[in-house]
A and B are shown apart, each in its own frame.
Chain A
């Protein structure tokens, strides 16, 4: 049985903000299905009472003093922006 459908792949691509072609959707369905099937071997292990590890170090919240510091100069912020106008980053229309 297939673990993931082409429809699901298209949905996930939309969530990931990736435009994909029909051909890519078909290929990714096969490849992801294979990887997910492989990953399902984890179900062999009983993890009922096991805590998840998000991080190997025993770190607590790391906080610093809330001190205002100068931000980046405008020209630095815009230096790598693909498009800008009047000191602001420009993007295509958001509301049509």
Chain B
């Protein structure tokens, strides 16, 4: 049994009673990394020396009288698009291979305050563009449940490292499903918070109107603790909202009597595997037993979400990624004759195929003569997609469906055609377009591969989402199962 089989609150108790040390926790991480990292390949950069030094320093503080925060000493992995001061941050792109940031993302500052220990930086699809982590410029992360399968993406390293027990928990980012989809594929809990809840300062921007940082954990309770630690208004991010952060863990009382659940028929339709559909109906039965009621509803514009998302996210990406020009940081092509040539060669050599494809799509959609037909049209459809959610939330507390249409697919299976890969995110994308919070919790297995239940809430109502996820988790034992590595 690993120390990481305990919840954060239990580990906190053990630390407090001096039955374990922070060094023990950090040892647990690196020992497990030594055992399984060759197979899983979740990390791009390990920060072992500093992690061990920090553990030692924290251990010396344990005896001191001042109250330690709950996350004190907990080992965490960080997705590699979150900027970490003096710790290589690549976004899994060759263009940032040697990037050594001079500042910390706001979430990192908050974690330092909470005194967590950063173990390393986690693999991802390059610039978070992808659904399998196969678009990483550096390595192929594998699903701990079946090494021939993808871990999902883009936060594949974040989900795989937690599932494999290499870290207690991790941070990911979610633009169209990039936390929830890998959490579903790897059998862990992944939360995409309301847009604006967590500061994006220091999150390397992909699509600024959709990106959110969120926690990946073994349990719902740990997830709630980690979100509480990273949420909150930040003057460095003008889109971060000044709201009181509730005590999410306080909401985990198991009481969902009278809860009204909406189940969109579009989320259980064509393209969704029968085994996935059945797992959702089992989950709904479980929630009914706990006193909730559910009804089938319609989110009529769901089928347009994928096209809307690819136009908007690629347009925003084409603007955001213009900063990678070989001038101030990152890779520069060595054999350019003039400035324009340097820009073009640097970007051609530094970016991978998927990133180039999206920059091209976005540049096209924003270009003169096409702006109204594609970009503006997509923004208008986004209004309708958001309204679908607003309408449903007039009558219901949460929306429930699967996180993904299928369990984890085989490595290489969806690489040939970009469209088949994009379809993977069809159930998670509408949530980002509407800006509402969504979580994936384990809800079953298909041939040994985990399945995820997606619970979607109202803007800034993470408490209800967590409450439902926790009640479901506690009435099932899917979260207790672990991959055999």
Which A residues contact B (CB, under 8 angstroms)?
4, 8-9, 12-13, 15-20, 28, 31-32, 34-36, 38-39, 41-45, 47, 50-57, 59, 62, 64, 72, 76-77, 79-83, 89, 91-94, 96
Contacts and interface: CB of A to CB of B under 8 A. Distances in A.
Contacts of A92: 336-339, 341-342
A31 B357 contact: yes
A39 to B, nearest CB: 4
B418 A35 contact: yes
Contact of B359 (A16, A36, A44): A16
A67 to B, nearest CB: 12
A64 B322 contact: no
Given A28-B360, A42-B307, A92-B342, A57 B382 contact: no
Interface string B236-268: 001101000000000000000000000000000
Interface in B370-408: 374, 376-384, 386
A56 B307 contact: no
B327 A91 contact: yes
Interface in B301-358: 301, 303-304, 306-308, 310-311, 318, 322, 325-332, 336-345, 347-348, 351, 356-357
SS class of chain B's interface: helix, strand, loop or mixed?
helix
Given A17-B343, A82-B331, A52 B383 contact: yes
Interface residues of B, number: 67
Given A17-B347, A59-B238, 14 more contacts: A15-B367, A17-B343, A20-B356, A28-B357, A32-B361, A38-B419, A39-B311, A43-B377, A45-B301, A47-B384, A52-B376, A57-B196, A80-B330, A82-B327
Contacts of A53: 379-380, 382-383, 386
Contacts of B341: 19, 92
B239 A55 contact: yes
Determine the main DSSP class of A at the interface with B: loop
Q: What 3 A-B pairs come out closest when comparing CB atoms?
A: A56-B435, A52-B379, A80-B329
A80 B326 CA distance: 10
Nearest to A78: B328
B195 to A, nearest CB: 5
B241 A18 contact: no
